[in-house]
Each structure stands twice: as structure tokens, then as C-alpha cells.
A and B are shown apart, each in its own frame.
Chain A
Amino acid sequence: MAKTILIADDEPNIVISLEFLLKREGYEVVVAHDGMQALERIRERRPDLAILDVMMPHRNGLEVCQDLRQDPQFKDLRIMMLTAKGRDTEVSKGLALGADVYMTKPFATRELIAKVKALIDKE
């Protein structure tokens, strides 16, 4: 059965690429445009992986990540953070709050796919 991935980013121009790529890799893709929407969709659709942009309206990616990690029902959810800042301090904070992988924009699409596969296709 196809794994489900949620993409949460407020920039449509990156969502276009991510959605296309992941669909082509055979995943089911769910899109959210801000932090609140991301949380709703995750509860609704129970994805295997959430790709969260740090800078989002309403709740930012780090807050969403923190919320999810405090809820035991999502303990199997993998989380990937995307950021445009890429400061070491911010990466440390994201990992400390429970993200599995941190990707800094601009990233190589192949690298992203490889990371996604490593996270959810282990079994």
C-alpha cells in the first residue's frame, strides 16, 4: 500500500515541485498551506511522513513538530523540516524538538527523495 506524505509549505512554487516529485515516486501526497492546516490534515489522514517548512503562517513548522511529538499517537510519524535560514542554532533546535531530518533550501531534489526513502521505506 502506498505511503502517505504531508507537505506543509506556504509557498506554492515549492509545493508544485515537491508534490510532483513525490507522486512520481509513488507516494500519496497531502498538501497544507499553513501550520494549523498541517495539524488538521495529519490528524485526518495519518501520513507516514510530514515535510514541514519552518516559516509558515499561523503555527510555524517548529511549533507543529513540537505538538506532534507530544502526542503519543504520532510516535511513528517521521518529520522532515525545511528551512531557508540554515543557521546551525536553528538546526539544533529543530532536531531537539523532535524532527528526524533537517533540509536547508535550496536543496537538491534527488537528495530530498533519497532522504524521504530512507525515512519511510526502511521496512
Chain B
Amino acid sequence: MSSRAKLVVAVAIASTFMLAVLAAAGFVAGSGLEGQEQAVLAAVLERRLGAVLMIVFVACVFLFLMLRAAYEFLVLPPARAAEEAKAMLEEPATRLTAQGTTELQDLIAGVNRLAARHEARDVEIEARIRAANAAAEADRNRFAVLMSELAQGVIVCNMDGRVLLYNRRARALFADASGQGMAVLGLGRSIYGIFDRHLIAYALENITGRRTAHRHFVAATGAGRLLRVLVAPIPEAGEAAESGTGTDTGRGFSGYMTMIEDMTETFDSESTRDQLLQDLTESSRGPVGNLRAAAETLYDYADMSAEDHQRFLAVVRDEAEGIAGRGEAAARKYAAVLKSRWPLEEMLGSDLLTAARRRIADRCALEVSLEEVDADVWLKVDGFSLLQAMTYFAARLHSEYRIRDLRLRLTRDGAMAHMDLIWSGVFMSTETVMQWELDPMTVAGESSPLTVRDVVERNGGEVWFQRDHASYRAFFRFLLPAASSQQNSPPGAVTAAMDSRPEFYDFDLFKDDELGLAQDDRLLAQLDYTVFDTETTGLEPSEGDEIIQIGAVRIVNRRLLRHEAYEQLIDPQRSLPPQSVKIHGITADMLAGQPPIGQVLPIFRAFVADTVLVAHNAAFDMRFLELKEAATGIRFDRPVLDTFLLSAALFPNQETHRLEAIAERLGVSVMGRHTAVGDAIVTAEVFLKMMPLLAEKGIRTLGEARAASEKTYHARIKY
């Protein structure tokens, strides 16, 4: 009930009450009177009726005025204060006006004090947030500079392997290595396109198990470059501080960082060896000179005194001894250099066997039993490559000789350890089996560029095939260098390594936006896009026109990644109509020696992997790609959005939806049109500007955008 209605009701109740009192007084006065008295009273009343009614009326008016005054003084001020309080919630700088009774005024003053305090606190919090943001921004800038100047490649991923960050060096490493430009490394792409998923999983598993801060492995790229990779997990916020408490630190990683060095040069140029050789020759020159001079003097001056003779012989003996010692030292140093080339890590032998057992069970569906395992044996090896080698042997034994009963054994033999893969019943020729060493290792479709021979050499070991006729068993023996036992490593050191890591990952990078939704239900703003354009010999794909250039850029996290562009000229293997040259400016000379479409499409498909395709007038470009499907077997089945159709959905009353017109309408400057990448960039910028406008129209998900596109009239145009 509004306060005004309350006033009306109050006045009505008061007036009714007063009339009722009067009526009751009249009834009391009139009851029990004789007839004559009644007549007298009636006459009196009749005469005074006007005055009585007047009094009643005045009383009513008085009552109304009293009540209204009370209403204005007692009811209205709190109501107004309540309204002001409501406004104050929206506009924290306003205050309640003092009004009404002193009690109310006290209340209002109290509320105002509360509001002032609240506002001050808000301002302070705001300032603190700003300061924190500024600090974070400064950290981020420092971090960005550090990253870009680093001589190593750096790639940061979340636990799903999505690339969140990489630096210039990493880009250069993989641009060279793949020969496919940017197709392998990019924001939002999977790191498993670069490194074997299992290598990383193995490294992380070891970090968790051993509580070390990082782990190395060596990976070979497709182009045969050797990379030394450091993997370090990134703890979840708050985790780093607790890591010393002895809880399971394996959980609670939000992602990991890989740091990559190209070791190919080190290997190929063997600069370390050269250095050593140079040292050796230079340091030998002096002593050899002494030796030579002494020897020649002895020879040329055979007539010297016995005393001189003795002195020269002493020189010869000393120097020969010195040279021998120096040669020995160099050999030892060289052996150390050889070992340090591979990141060998000390690990418990039984851990390796357990991992091998699991891996063989996993890859080959084979049960492997552990026979005799010396639990005290530590190995200095590259565990992953050894696992690969054992799994590979197990797989071949199984597939080629139907051997199911495999056993593993680990024993120590002085400075070395024996790790045996044993089976019984079947003997094959030594030649056959040892040939396996020299084949590239392939297990269940996964192949490695390395052979078992490479692996044992890398580990400074040996491998051979041996038969034990007495027990009717045969085995592969891996002879591996044992490490001295690890008990002496102080437990504190490991924890310190975890704690001392610098804290530049307070980024918001690690949020996992894999919402598990069907693609059509995902928000446009959360999807990754490849925006592309093609230049062609003409407009009729079905009549023999061909693509001569593809240009594409990526949009990840609503950001246009210009540096992750793809651009490729293509030999159309047909003549170039002169009128088309006027449009795209690409001449036959430029196309000579370029790859044909059949070579380009697989790379382009890798570039667009896991993204939504966007093009202006996409139907045209897609038609060209579809017509190549039969010949190349490459299908582009990613969802497609068309800026032409989206423009028609956004601006139904506009006559033209040409790219230039839309760009102008949306305030996108057009430069370098009619090169494929130039057009792709304009299209991408247009698409980014469209996103909020689409959201205003209620088009938020991919499914909604596709439905809106289909509805537009222009969708019926067919090429």
C-alpha cells in the first residue's frame, strides 16, 4: 500500500470513528425518554441540527489536517530517505538529506556515516586493484622482454598441451625444422604437434615421482634436428608455497614450460671435440719441442760429455712421460664430453623396469613379469629412449615370433648394470635378431628416427642377444652404466629448487576453456579461427579455374595473430588468363617453381586444424577446395563462417556486402587488398568487429551464427 493510500485510509477510519461516537452519544441521550420529551428533543435537535453538522464537519476537517501533518512529518521523510538510499546504491557519492523527526535525523546521519565509510573502502580497494594490475602489467612486460631476448626457445602450455605462449626463438626453431612455415607452432595449437605426447608425459611423470623441478629429454624433429628440451611444470597458484610441506606435488600443475635448445650444431660441427683437439695440439707443442731439441742434440753431438749426455736423456724421459699423461687426460676429458651430449639422468633401475612393464602392457597388450630386480641399482641413462627400445623389442618378439611370456631382470655388474628382456622356448638366429637393432624403432604405428643402436650408444651402453641353452631361455641384454647410489642427496635441495623459481606466471593464461560443449554450443568469442582468402585464375572452379594463392591468419582468444600468417603461391598447372592478372597482380613468372595444389593442401589443412574457417564469400573459396577433394583426398570439414552472410544478417537493409563496403561501415582500414593475406587480414578485422554486434542481436554461439547465415537471403547464391 502506498503511503498516500495509507493517509486516505487513516482519515476515513478516524472520521467513521468520530461519527460512530456521535451516533452512540445521540442514542444514549435519546433512549428511555417519554413521548413528550422525545418531541422536545426532536424539536431541539431540529433547531440545532445545522450547528451539530457544522461541528461534525469542523471536527472532521481538523482530524484530516492533524493526520496530514502527522503523515508529512512522520511517514513521508522515512519513505523519501528509503528512496534516496536506493539511489545511493547506484551512485555511491550521494548522501541522504536530513529530514523528519530528530530520531529519524539521527538514523539518517548514521546511515550517511556508514555510506561514507563504505565508499572510502571502495575507493581504497579500487586503488589497490589498480596498483596490483600495474604491477602485474610491469611484470608481464619484463617477462615479455626476457622471453623474446632468450637464446632458448620457450613454449608454455596448459595441461592439455595447448600452447599459451611461445617466444621468437621457438618460432624460429620450428619454422626451420618443419619446412611448413607456421603450421606447427601457434597460440592455442597443440604442443603434441611438435613433441611426442609420451615424451612429455614421461618427463612430467618423473618430475612428479622424483620431486625434482625439471627434467630433460632429447627430441628429434621431422627435419632431423636434435633438440634438447627441458620440461618444468608450473604449479597452480598457491601450490608453490606449499610444495615444501611434503604433500603430493604431482597434482596441482596448471601447465608446464618447455625450454628448447638446438643441439644439432653442437653435434654436427663437433665444436667441443675441435676445441679439445686444439687444446691438445697447442699444449703439446712446447713439450714436443723440448723433446725434439734434446733428441736431435743427442743425435748430432754424440761426442758430448757423459754428464751432458745424462742431462739430455733425463729431458727426453721427463718430456715423454709428460706427453703420455697429457694424452691420457685429454682422452678422459673427451669421454666426459661425449657423455654430456645426452641428458643422462640418474634414476632408480627398478623404476625404469616398472615403467617398461607398464609401457609394454599398454602398447603391445603383453603381460610382462619382473623376475629378479636389484632394488639398489641406480642407472645413469636417458630413460625414455630405453623404454622405447625395450617396447620395440617386445613388440617385434610378439608380432614376429608369437612370444607372449616376457620377463625383465636387473642385476648389477661392477660399474655397469645388466637389464635383460628374457623369453623362453623360441630361439631365433642371432643375425635376424641383431638386425632389429639397426631398424628404426616402430611400435604400434609410432615410429622414432632412432634405432636401438643409437639408443645404446646414447646411453653409453651396449646391447646383445644371448642364449642360455641350459635353461632353454634367450634374452636381450642391455649393458648400462650404473650410477652411484643416491642416498646422499640432501632432501632439502629438491624442495629449494621448487621454491626458488621466479614467479612470473601469475598470468591468467591457464584457464582451461575446453568446456566440453558441442562445437555449435560454444561461444563465438571463445573459438579459434582461421581467416583465409584465395586468389584464383577465374571465377568458375567447375570449368577449370584453379587456386593460385592461399593466404590465412589466425584469431585466437579474440586476437588477430598477424605473425602467425600463412601465405603460399600455387602453380595452377594451367595458363593464367590476362584479365585475372589485373585483379591479383600475380604473374606466371611468380608461379613458376611453386608447389602444385596437391602439396599445398595438406599443409594448409594442418594450419587450420581445430579452428573455425572464416572467409568473405566463403562459398566461393570452399567450392574450390571441395573440388580438389577427390584428387587430393584432403577434406576441409571444419565449420565455416562467411563474413558476407554475417553482414547480411547484421545489416539487412544495406544494398552491398562487398568486403570494402563492410570494412568502411565498420571502420576497418583497407590496405593491400587482393593479395590473399591482405584480404584475409581485412576479413579477420571485419569479423572481430562483427562479434559484439552479433552478440547484441542475440547471436552468441557458433550454432546461432550458422543459423543466422542460412536465413539470409544471399545464402541462396550458389557457385
A interface residues with partner B (beta carbon < 8 Å): 11, 13-14, 16-18, 20-21, 24, 55, 82, 84-86, 104-110, 112
Contact = CB atoms under 8 A, between A and B. Distances in A.
Contacts of A16: 294, 311-312, 315
Q: 4 shortest A-B CB distances, which residue pairs?
A: A105-B289, A106-B289, A17-B293, A84-B285
B308 interface: yes
Nearest to B286: A84
23 contacts: A13-B290, A13-B294, A14-B286, A14-B289, A17-B297, A17-B315, A20-B304, A24-B301, A82-B289, A84-B282, A84-B285, A86-B282, A86-B285, A104-B285, A105-B289, A106-B288, A107-B292, A108-B292, A108-B296, A109-B293, A109-B300, A110-B296, A110-B300
A105 B285 contact: yes
A53 to B, nearest CB: 9
Given A14-B286, A17-B315, A105-B286, 13 more contacts: A13-B318, A14-B289, A17-B312, A21-B297, A55-B286, A84-B283, A84-B286, A104-B285, A106-B292, A108-B296, A109-B292, A109-B297, A110-B296
Given A16-B315, A21-B297, A105 B288 contact: yes
A106 B291 contact: yes
B319 interface: yes
A96 to B, nearest CB: 21
B296 A109 contact: yes
Interface in B259-318: 282-283, 285-294, 296-297, 300-301, 304, 308, 311-312, 315, 318
A85 B282 contact: yes
Contacts of B308: 20
Nearest to A13: B290
Nearest to B290: A13
A16 B315 CA distance: 9
Contacts of A106: 285, 288-293
B288 to A, nearest CB: 4
Contacts, number: 70
B318 to A, nearest CB: 7
A24 B714 CA distance: 109
Contacts of A112: 293
Contact of B286 (A11, A18, A110): A11
The residue among B293, B301, B308, B315 with the most chain A CB atoms within 10 A of its own CB is: B293
A82 B285 CA distance: 11
A47 B200 CA distance: 72
Nearest to B285: A84
B301 A20 contact: yes
A104 B284 CA distance: 12
B325 to A, nearest CB: 15
A91 to B, nearest CB: 13
B498 to A, nearest CB: 47
B297 A20 contact: yes
A18 B301 contact: no
A14 B285 CA distance: 12
A111 B427 CA distance: 69
A17 B288 contact: no
A7 to B, nearest CB: 12
Contacts of B285: 84-86, 104-106
A61 B628 CA distance: 77
Contacts of B289: 14, 82, 84, 105-107
A107 B304 CA distance: 21
A11 B300 CA distance: 22
A17 B300 contact: no
A18 B290 CA distance: 9
Contacts of A20: 297, 301, 304, 308, 312
Interface in B602-653: none
B719 to A, nearest CB: 70
Contacts of A86: 282, 285
Contacts of A84: 282-283, 285-286, 289
The residue among B288, B290, B291 with the most chain A CB atoms within 10 A of its own CB is: B290
A82 B289 CA distance: 10
Nearest to B282: A85
A85 B286 CA distance: 9
A55 B287 CA distance: 13
A106 B289 CA distance: 3
Contacts of A107: 289, 292-293
A108 B296 CA distance: 8
Given A20-B297, A84-B282, A105-B285, A11 B304 contact: no
